[in-house]
Structure 1
Amino acid sequence: MIAIYPLSDLPEIGPGDELSVLLHDALERAGLWPPASGDVLVVTQKIVSKAEGRLVDLETVEASPEAIRLSQDVRKDARLVELVLRESASVVRAAPNVLITRHRLGHVMANSGIDRSNTGSGEEHVLLLPEDSDASAQALRSALGGALAVVISDSFGRPWRHGVVGVALGASGLPSLVDRRGELDRDGRRLEVTQIALADQIATAATLAMGEGAEGVPAVLIRGLSLPLGDVGASALVRPLEEDLFR
């Protein structure tokens, strides 16, 4: 049986905090340490970014002419747009109140993943994604002894669907993408296109306990999974540009 255990007693995370120590202590208090086989620790991007010092004061940002022009089209703060452009490889769509970019790590998302909510630092501060989410997941897993897998989660909207779901920005200790092509279904037919976004499925399951607002649950432990062998980061989930059929 799969069980999801919320870790809700973590303190407010700040730059330089030893996130691995705080998570270890929270797992111990919850009676979830030592890890069991197949355990996955899911942590929000927000607390990873906070610990890594990715908080930016908009007062320190000078908007470029390009950001000022684009801000008028999308009706957003020009300083925020400047940061979005710095964090992006390209602008995918721009419309009033909407700015979709391809993040420098390949994710197609709103505002390059930059967020104002739950920063704990006031309205003029925004939070950027980690520099390298897979590297962050790997470092966190190593600091926790390597006995459990780690997924760094965020929330994305999806084309042609309302609402957001949890996705994996970073992962370590599990195969983020499981390729089942070549296997047979129950009728003996060979699977031709089936690839499982395992890390995304885990992130979405964790979001059921984490919530999306003021719930204050920045990490969960998922227990009872039978994880396939392999260690493939979440970057494997990003579809290459040459496979983009919608642009």
Structure 2
Amino acid sequence: MTARLEVFAPDDLPEITAGDDLARLVADRADLHDGDVVAVTSKVVAKAEGRVRPGDRDDAVAGETARIVARRGPVLIVRTHHGLTMAAAGVDASNVATGTVVLLPVDPDASARALRERLLDLTGVNVGVVVTDTAGRAWREGQTDMAIGVAGLTPLEDFVGRFDGHGNELAVTMPAVADEIAGAAELVQGKLHGRPVAVLRGRADLVLPAGEHGPGAQALVRDDATDMFGYGAREAVVRALAGQPDDRAPFGTPATLDDLAAALAQLPGVSEVSEEGARARVAGADRTVGTAVAATCFAFGWQVDALDDTTSGIAVLVSPVTT
């Protein structure tokens, strides 16, 4: 038995403008089959939804930003209101008229659902739909496409609890199949060929029955509580030192006392960390240790309750933050 995957992209779509029936344009150019997955770039979805705005990219980014994650010179990585972490909030100034920019769709999952339902009405064919956008990745050079909107498709394939060919139980394996489809689609779409739509054929097993849209691409967005990289390295230091309550969430859930103690033990001047019920006492050589302890506690989801001078240095009493 041979596994086979086919991906193709029609190359004669016109320039998309506000109000265009994108599903009709796709249906007229692609012979869709039940179980196909239609991948559409967020840019043409946004254009059809009237998300083109006058102005430059920098002007538009602020309104699309929930919080800044990292900044390096002119490069700005932000968390959007969708929960996506992207450069410049996904605002795009390419392939649009000079002096205008394209914003991401307001609700990419809703856009995917609407496109899927319209394709079913037009063709009678049940397909999955993925709305894609391009993004960089932590630790990796270059960019690839990912799914920001999904309908009729399970975006994550959960292998946890299954066994491999050697009898080993899988503990964390969860392929992001919607992102894999987005990346495959980009290979045939390209960046300069005017092919914003691709059809992937050969994984009908991933497509849900008509009327069942699934959890959408929001299922791919990692919650702040479990995100290990809520801020860039430099930004995390500044946020921890500033210690503003609204900045806590991106540091994740509070750490255990063992994890906090291991971190505090690495600070210059800290001589001992001991447990006192639900709290901990940190002994240090002098008062300047208190600033480092407070910043570390903030980053680990703890807070300083009291700082006492002693004849031998200071003692800082800390406790986990409760909400």
Shared fold (TM-score, shorter chain, > 0.5): yes
5+ residue gaps, structure 2, are: 209-213, 232-323
Q: What is the root-mean-square deviation of aligned Cα atoms in Å?
A: 1.3
Give the Cα–Cα distance (whole angstroms) in 2 for the partners of residues 229 and 17 of structure 1: 26
- Tell me how far apart the structure 2 counterparts of residues 117 and 227 of structure 1 sit (CA, whole Å): 36
Deviations 1:165-219 (A, max 9, x none): 110010111101111111111111111111110100000000000112x211110
The aligned counterpart of 1:162 is 141
SS at match of 1:7: coil
Any conservation in 2 of the 1:87–1:104 contact (CA below 8 Å)? yes
- 3-state SS in 2 of match to 1:142: helix
2:199 maps to which of 193, 198, 221: 221
Q: Which residue is equivalent to 1:76?
A: none
Amino acid at match of 1:22: L
User: Would the alpha carbon gap of residues 161 and 215 (structure 1) be closer, same or farther in structure 2, given more than 3 Å must change?
Assistant: same
Alignment of 1:129-140 (within 5 A): 129-140=104-115
- Structure possessing the higher radius of gyration over alpha carbons: 2
* Unmatched tracts of structure 1, length 5 or more: 59-78
Partner Cα distance (2:45, 2:90) in 1:
13
Given residue 49 of structure 2, which amino acid in structure 1 is its aligned partner?
A: E
Matched, 1:114 2:91: yes
Determine what percentage of the aligned residue pairs are the same residue.
42
Number of residue pairs aligned between Structure 1 and Structure 2: 218
1:1-247 paired onto structure 2 within 5 Å: 1-27=4-30, 32=31, 35-58=32-55, 80-119=57-96, 121-122=97-98, 124-145=99-120, 147-212=126-191, 214-228=192-206, 230=208, 231-246=214-229, 247=231
Distance 2:110 2:207 in 1: 19
What amino acid maps onto 2:53 in structure 1? Answer: V
Cα distance in 2 between the residues matched to 1:19 and 1:245: 38
SS in 1 for 2:171: coil
Q: Match of 1:87, as an amino acid?
A: E
Report which stretch shifted further, 223-232 or 183-192.
223-232
8 A Cα contact 2:127 2:207, kept in partner: no
* Shift in Å, 1:82: 3.5
Q: State the distance in 2 between where 1:136 and 1:87 align.
A: 17
Q: Is the 8 A contact 1:114 1:128 kept in 2?
A: yes
Alpha-carbon displacement from aligned partner over 1:41-64 (angstroms, at most 9, x marks no partner): 111111000000000001xxxxxx
One-letter amino acid of the counterpart of residue 42, structure 1: A
Q: Matched residues in 1 for 2:5 and 2:57: separation? A: 40
Once residues 98 and 184 of structure 1 are traced to their aligned partners in structure 2, the CA distance between those partners, rounded to angstroms, is 43
Alpha-carbon spacing, 1:151–1:229, altered in 2? closer, same or farther (3 Å): closer
CA deviation map 1:207-233 (0-9, x unaligned): 000112x21111011111243365231
- Superposition deviation, residue 20 in structure 1: 1.0
Report the AA paired with residue 228 of structure 1. L
Secondary structure of 1:208 counterpart: helix
Q: How many Å separate the matches in 2 of 1:46 and 1:229?
A: 24
Alpha-carbon distance change, 126 to 209 in structure 1, aligned in 2, over 3 angstroms = same
**Which residue identity lines up with residue 24 of structure 2 in the other structure?**
V
Distance 2:147 2:57 in 1: 24
- Say if 1:17 and 1:175 are closer, same or farther in 2 by CA, change over 3 A: same
Tell me the TM-score normalized by structure 1. Answer: 0.85
Task: Please state whether the residue corresponding to 2:28 is helix, strand or coil.
Answer: helix
SS at match of 2:9: strand
Structure having greater relative contact order (Cα 8 Å, sep ≥ 6): 1
| Cα distance in 2, alignment partners of residues 82 and 25 from structure 1 | 37
CA distance in 1, matches of 2:94, 2:130: 21
Distance, in Å, in 2 between the alignment partners of 1:159 and 1:153 is 18
Check whether the contact 1:177–1:232 (CA below 8 A) recurs between aligned residues: no
The code of the aligned residue for 2:193 comes to E
Structure 1 match to 2:282? none
